[in-house]
Chains A and B, each alone.
Chain A
Amino acid sequence: MVRTSSASAGIQESSEEKKRVIGYIYPHFPVELVLAHGLVPSLISTNPETQGAFENSLQTFACGYVRNLFSRRVRGELSSLSGLVFPSNTCDSLQNAGDIWRYRFPEDVVFKVTYPVSDYGKASVKFLAEELKILSDRIEREFGVPFSNESFKAAVEMINGFRESLQMIYSARVIMPSIITYHQLMELTRQFLTEPTRESLDEINRHIAGSLGPLSTDIINDFRELKQMMQRMRVEREFDVERDHPRIAMVGGMTDPQLISQVLHELGEGERFSLVIDLLSFGFKCVFSPQIQFDSDPFVEMAKNILSTPKEPTQEGLTNRLIFLRETLVNLKIEGLIILEQSFCDPDEFEAPSLERVAKEESIPVVRLPIDPELSDQERVKLRLQSFLENLLELV
C-alpha cells in the first residue's frame, strides 16, 4: 500500500528509529496485540480545536466523534500514525466510517476488527479470537513484524499493571474523592490509553503510593471490595463515603472524559463538588476490564478479556447497565447525575431516557447534556452544567 509522504496529509510511515504507531478507536481494542507486534497502540480521541473538514465525506448527521475523526485526518493531524484500526459491528456511524475512509484516503493503512454484539459464550469468544488472529496476520503482512509471545507476555503484564493500579485509584476516589481530582485521574487514564509505557505506569504507581500509603487497612479493604464489585458492574452494598462536597456521577458513551473533566475543573470540581465516578467508555469502562490471563492461546485470551469488559451502549445488556447505575446511585450516595450524549450518537441517545428514568426514580437530580467533540457550543454546555450545579448546591 502506498502511503502519503506529505507531512500535512494523512497517516504515514514513521521514521525508522521511531516505533510505528497504530491508532485505534474502539474503547476495548486489545492494545496488547499491537504491543506484541512491537508497535505502539494509541487511542485516537477527538480534538476540540479541529472543526469542519469532514463535509466532503460525510453528511452532517454522522455522529460528532466520526465527524471529528475525518476533520482531524483532513487537517493532517494523524500523520504520525502508521495505521488505523476501525471497529465493525459497533454503531452505524462507525460502520460506514471505515469504508468511507478507504475510499477517501486510499493511501492510508486501514485495519478492521469485527466485534460480536451478542454474548453467545464460547461461540462469541471463538468468533472474536479469529477476528483478532486475522488482524494480527494482516499487521504482520503489512509491516513485516510477527506476533511475539514474549512481547505479548510483557505487554499483558504491563496492561494488567495499569488496570490494577487505575482500578484501585478509581475505586478509592469513589469512596474518598479528595484523594485526587477527577481531572488528575483523567490525566493518568489518558496516559494509559495513548501511551501505555512502563514509565507512565510507574508514574501512576507513584501517585497511588502517595495517596493511599497513609490510609488505614480498613479503608484500603473497602477500596478493594468496591473495586471487585465494579469489575462485575455491581455495587451490592452501601459504602461509607466521604461527603465533603455534593457527590456527582456522570454516565454516557464515547464522549471524551478529558474534555468534560476540563469543563468540570473550571467549574470547581474538587472544591465545590466532586465528580466521584464516570461510567464512560474512555473512562471507567476502559479501566475496569479484567486482568488478561495466559491460560490458553493468546487470541482466545484476548477475546475472552474483551468480552468480559463492562458492556458499551453499542452492545446488548441495557438491563444490566441500568441495574448497575441504580446501585451506583444508591449505594455510593450520588447526589446528582450528568448524562452525556454525543451529538447524533444513536447508542447514547437511545439509552439516555432509560438512564434518566432510573435517576428520577431514585429522586436524584439529573441533567442531560448533548455535546459535540468540538464543544462548539462550549458556553452553553458550561452554562447548563453551572446552573445544574448551582441548583444542586442549594438542594444538598
Chain B
Amino acid sequence: MSEKKEKAYRLLEANNLLNQIMFRYMLEGHSASEEGRLAWLTSGFPVEIPLAMSLGVVYPEQYGAVVGSQKMGPQVCAFAENIGYSPELCSYARSSIGSVLKPEESPLEGLPKPQALLAGNNICGTVMKWYDAVSQLTGAPVFLLDTPPIDDVQGDHHKEYVKAGLERLITFISDHFDVELQDDRLREVADNSTRAIALWTEILQSCKAKPSPLNCADRFLAMAPVVSQRGTEYILEYYETLLKEVRERVSNGLGAIMDEKVRLLWDNIPPWFNIFRFFNSLAKRGVVFPADTYTHAWSGSFDSPDILNAIVSLYSNVYLNKGIDAKIDKMCELIMDYDLDGFVLFSVRSCKRYSLGQMVSKEIVMERTGVPGVIIEGDMVDSRLFNEAQVQTRIDALLEMIV
C-alpha cells in the first residue's frame, strides 16, 4: 500500500472513493429535486422508508458541516440572523435557513429545493422548530416522527406510539408523492443499511488497536455516507475498501498519526471550521482520538422478520435519544474498551441537547474511569463562538495531567 505523508498525519486512500460517492449523492439530490421527489432529512430519521418509496434525500446537518468546513459559518448564519433568527439558535439550523434565503452566496449554492421535510426528534427537539422555519420559507410540508426520549427500557406503549408515527409517515409520503411502499424494496434497503452499519461498526472497533488506525477527523469524514446514504448499495464498496485499508494499517502497526503517545475520547460534534488544524496540531504532540461518542451513534441492525418493528426499536433506542445515564455509560464503555487516557468534552453552544449535562457527565466519568477530562467551549459551525487560546489552555492542562 502506498502511503502519503502529511506532517504528523497519514492520509487514507479510501478518501478518493469517498469523494466520488459524495459527489454522486449531491447529483442525485439535485435530480430528485428537479423531479419533485426530494426530502430533507434529519440525521436520525429512518431513511429506509423514504428511500424505499423512491424519494431522493439530502441532509441539512451535513450541509451545515460543509458550511462550517468552508469557513462560511458566520456569513451564512448571518443571513438567517438578519431576518430575526437569534444567534443563540443551533448553527446548523441558522446556516440552513441562511442558505435557503441566499443560496447564491452559500456553499454549493445551497441544498436543492425540498418537496418534503422529514424530521425525527430522536436527536433533539430543535429539529422540529428548524424544519418548521424552513417550511415557512420553502412551502415544503413537514412530517415529524416523534420518538420520545427513553430512560431505560422501551415500554410497549412507546413502541406502539412510534409505530403509529411510522404508519403515518408511510401515508404522508404516499399522499404527497403518489407512491406505494413495497415490502421487498423496504427489505432490500434495510439489508443495505444493516450491512453498511455493520461495516461501519467494524471500522470503528478496529480503532481499539494500538496505534489507532483512525483519528477523529478521519471518522467524522468517513461517517458521511452511513449518515446520509445508508440504505443504498453503492456505499458498501466504500466501507469495504475503508475496512480493508484500516485492517492493513492495523496489521502493519501503522497508526493514523505518526507517533501515538496519548489516546483520548472526543465527545460531541467537531468544530468543522478547523477540524484538520485542531486534530492535526494535537497529532503533532502525539495525541490521537481512537473513539468519539458522535460517530458511534449509528449502530444496530434491521435483521428481523418485522422490519417496521425493527425500525421502531432501532431509531427509538439510539443512545442520543436516551438520558444522561446512557451517555455516561457510553463514554465509560469507550474509555475502557479503547484503553483511553482521558477525554475532551466539546461544549457546543448550538446544541443544548448534547452539551447541557456535560458538567455532571465529566465528574461522573472521571470518578468511574479514573481518567481525567476537560470541557472546551465553542461551536461546530459558528467560528465566532470558538476561543482558540482558551481551548488550547484547557487541552494543555489535560495533557499535563496525563503525560
Considering the complex, give the chain A residue whose CB is closest to the CB of B325. Answer: A99
A103 touches B360 (CB 8 A): yes
- Shortest CB-to-CB span from B133 to chain A, Å, is 6
Which of B136, B324, B357, B364 is the most central at the interface, judged by chain A CB atoms within 10 Å of its CB?
A: B357
Which stretch, A123-131, A184-192, A197-205, A327-335, touches the partner chain B?
A123-131
- Interface residue tally on A, bucketed by range: 35 or more
B84 touches A353 (CB 8 A): yes
A112–B148 CA distance with the chains assembled, in angstroms: 12
A104–B359 CA distance with the chains assembled, in angstroms: 10
A59–B359 CA distance with the chains assembled, in angstroms: 8
A89–B85 CA distance with the chains assembled, in angstroms: 23
Other-chain residue from B88, B146, B324, B352 in contact with A116 (beta carbon distance below 8 A): B146
B121 touches A61 (CB 8 A): no
A91–B126 CA distance with the chains assembled, in angstroms: 8
Considering the complex, give the chain B residue whose CB is closest to the CB of A57. Answer: B359
Given A61-B349, A117-B144; A95-B125 close (CB under 8 Å): yes
A117 touches B146 (CB 8 A): yes
B84 touches A352 (CB 8 A): yes
Q: B36 an interface residue at 8 Å Cβ cutoff? A: no
- Shortest CB-to-CB span from A175 to chain B, Å, is 31
Which of A96, A124, A126, A314 is the most central at the interface, judged by chain B CB atoms within 10 Å of its CB?
A: A96
Chain A contacts for B84, CB-based, 8 A: 352-353, 356, 368
Q: A354 an interface residue at 8 Å Cβ cutoff? A: yes
1/0 per residue A70-105: CB within 8 Å of B?
Answer: 000000000000000000111111011101100110
Q: B151 an interface residue at 8 Å Cβ cutoff? A: yes
B324 touches A99 (CB 8 A): yes
B161 touches A354 (CB 8 A): no
- Interface residue tally on B, bucketed by range: 35 or more
Given A99-B324, A120-B161; A347-B356 close (CB under 8 Å): no
A346 touches B357 (CB 8 A): no
B149 touches A117 (CB 8 A): no
Could you list some 28 contacts between A and B, CB below 8 A?
A: A57-B359, A58-B356, A58-B359, A59-B349, A89-B125, A91-B125, A92-B124, A92-B125, A92-B352, A92-B356, A99-B357, A100-B357, A103-B324, A115-B148, A117-B125, A120-B165, A126-B157, A126-B161, A130-B157, A314-B125, A347-B125, A347-B129, A349-B88, A350-B93, A350-B126, A353-B133, A354-B136, A370-B86
B contact set with A: CB distance below 8 Å: 83-86, 88-90, 93, 121, 124-126, 128-130, 132-133, 136, 144-146, 148-149, 151, 155, 157-158, 160-161, 164-165, 168, 323-325, 347, 349, 351-353, 355-360, 364, 377
Told that A88-B149, A89-B125, A346-B129 touch, could you supply 17 new A-B pairs with CB distance under 8 A? A57-B359, A59-B356, A63-B352, A89-B146, A92-B356, A97-B356, A100-B359, A112-B151, A116-B161, A120-B165, A124-B161, A127-B157, A127-B161, A318-B136, A349-B89, A350-B93, A354-B132
| 6 nearest A-B residue pairs (beta carbon) | A123-B164, A353-B84, A350-B129, A130-B157, A127-B161, A99-B324
A contact set with B: CB distance below 8 Å: 56-59, 61-63, 88-93, 95-97, 99-100, 103-104, 112, 114-118, 120, 123-124, 126-127, 130-131, 313-314, 316, 318, 341, 343-344, 346-347, 349-354, 356, 368, 370
